[in-house]
Amino acid sequence: MGEQTALNQKRLELIKKFRGVAPEFMAAEFEVLQKTYQDGALSIKVKRLMSLAIALRAGCTNCILAQTQYALDSGASRQEIVETLQVVTAMSGTTGIAESLRVVEFLDEKGML
C-alpha cells in the first residue's frame, strides 16, 4: 500500500472512531453531506470535482484524498481529475502544483497513471 492510500485508509479508520465518540454530531454532519452530494443542477461528479479543487486550494490532506476518491467513485475519469488539477494550478500557481502532487501520487498508487 502506498503512502497516500495508507493515509486515506487511516482517515477512514479515524472517521469511524469519531462516529463512535460523537454519534449524534457525526450523523447530523453526514446528513448535510448526503443532501449536498446529490444530483441536482450539478451532477455529483461535478460537485466532487469542485470539492477536490477547494480541498487542494485549502491544502487539506484528508480532504484532498477523500475528494479524489469520491470523484473517482462518482465516475470522474483520470483526465477530468487532471483537468481539475490544472484549474487549481492556474488559480493557485506553484502551491497548486505542490498540493496536486498528492493526487498524482494517489492515482499512481491506484495504477491510474
Return the domain boundaries, the chain.
3-109
pLDDT on residue 1: 79
- What CA–CA distance (Å, rounded) separates 65 from 7? 8
Contact by Cβ (8 Å): 49, 81: yes
Which positions ≥6 away from 39 have C-beta within 8 Å? none
pLDDT recorded at residue 79:
98
With contact defined as beta carbons under 8 Å apart, do 103 and 71 qualify?
no
- Rounded distance, CA 3 to CA 36, Å? 29
CATH 3.40.50.150 fits 3-109, yes or no: no
Rounded Cα distance, 46 and 21, in Å: 32
Q: Which residues of the chain have pLDDT under 50?
A: none
- Residue 8 confidence (pLDDT): 95
Report the predicted TM-score, pTM, of the whole model to 2 decimal places: 0.93
